[in-house]
Amino acid sequence: MEPRIWLIGGPTASGKTAISLRLAREIGGEIVNADSIQLYGDLRILSARPTPDEMVQAPHHLFGVADGAEAWSVGAWRRAALPIIADIRSRGLSPILVGGTGLYFRSLTHGLADIPAAPPETRARAEGDFEALGEVAFRTRLGDIDPAAAARIAPGDRQRLVRAWEVYLAAGRSLSDLQAATTAPLAANDWRSVVVEPPRETLYARCDARLAAMFDAGAADEVSALVARRLEPTLPVMKALGLREIAAWQAGEMTRDEALAAAQQETRRYAKRQATWFRNQTPDWPRISATTAEDQWRQFLALSAP
């Protein structure tokens, strides 16, 4: 039997890193990053990438491998991760994927639709149709060709409504049809999963403490160096939690304390969104709800027993 693949997900500051490191030491596994910001080398501190001391405890992959000027998509991450997973297994070891980017896990367990990029004129046409029709009529028309998307997309989510329509215009098939035709690259019996989800008050306290430690450990220097590069603000790395607030502090628009409080609040909100995603999208994954590292490990062992 081939070595088991482990998927360890959950919101930021939940305790995923400690579990993955201990598991890697126990079984001789190798850790693969599944966090969209930890990919980038520019923000080791602000992205909460494993420390140098942690990284020497087990082989790590896909941490700090991208430059901030690059825009990695889910597909780009999956193309990089799959050969690494295969190589680790070929050496008789277990890949341990850990991170908070739920779509990365989903691309492995459910597949990733091969959706063609819409040319600019098609995108402009879809945007124009939305402007002319309004959301209600636009959603009704989308429902004629893609009822699943029309029902699934939340009210007010213009971006996803327009995207679903432009995919139909570009591909001649609905977005839902393209997504349904995907094949998961990981067989269901090849992997085990857990979501680390401590109580909300514990999670929020950890988020606050982590941000304070980041401010003390030099996150501002990372932000200063990145801002000096004058990268496009739409790049993924520029959306890192805390970056906007630290940049505002450095520009004299906030005090340090104001920046820290704002970054902590935004991180708590993000952690809540992550927890909601995992709750909705991975309801069958076992949950680790303990609060201390030792209790989380014990709960992991109990959940992962054959």
Domains assigned to the chain? 5-111+184-304 (3.40.50.300), 120-180 (1.10.20.140)
pLDDT of residue 230 exceeding 60, the answer is yes
Q: What is the pLDDT of residues 134-174, one digit of tens each?
A: 999 999 999 999 999 999 898 988 988 999 999 999 889 99
Confidence of residue 2 (pLDDT cuts 50, 70, 90): low
pLDDT of residue 3 exceeding 90, the answer is no
Contact 236, 36 (CB under 8 A): yes
Crossing angle between the packed helical segments 200-217 and 219-227, to the nearest 10 degrees: 70
What is the mean pLDDT of the segment spanning 18-43?
Answer: 97
Which candidate, 1, 65, 63, 6, places its Cα nearest to that of 285? 6
Which helix (H) or strand (E) segment holds residue 117: the answer is none
Distance from the first to the final alpha carbon of the chain: 14
Confidence of residue 131 (pLDDT cuts 50, 70, 90): very high
Length of the chain: 306
What is the mean pLDDT of the segment spanning 248-253?
Answer: 97
Kindly give the pairing relationship between strand 191-196 and strand 5-9.
parallel
pLDDT of residue 1 exceeding 50, the answer is no
pLDDT of residue 297 exceeding 90, the answer is yes
CA distance 8 to 126: 38
Q: What does pLDDT average to over the chain?
A: 94
**Cα–Cα–Cα angle for 169, 165, 277, rounded to 5 degrees:** 135
Crossing angle between the packed helical segments 219-227 and 243-250, to the nearest 10 degrees: 80
What is the mean pLDDT of the segment spanning 291-303?
Answer: 96
Model pLDDT, residue 159: 86
pLDDT of residue 66 exceeding 90, the answer is yes
Q: Percent of the chain scored above 90 by pLDDT?
A: 86
Residue 94 makes CB contacts below 8 A (sequence gap 6+) with 3, 4, 5, 6, 27, 28, 29, 30, 88
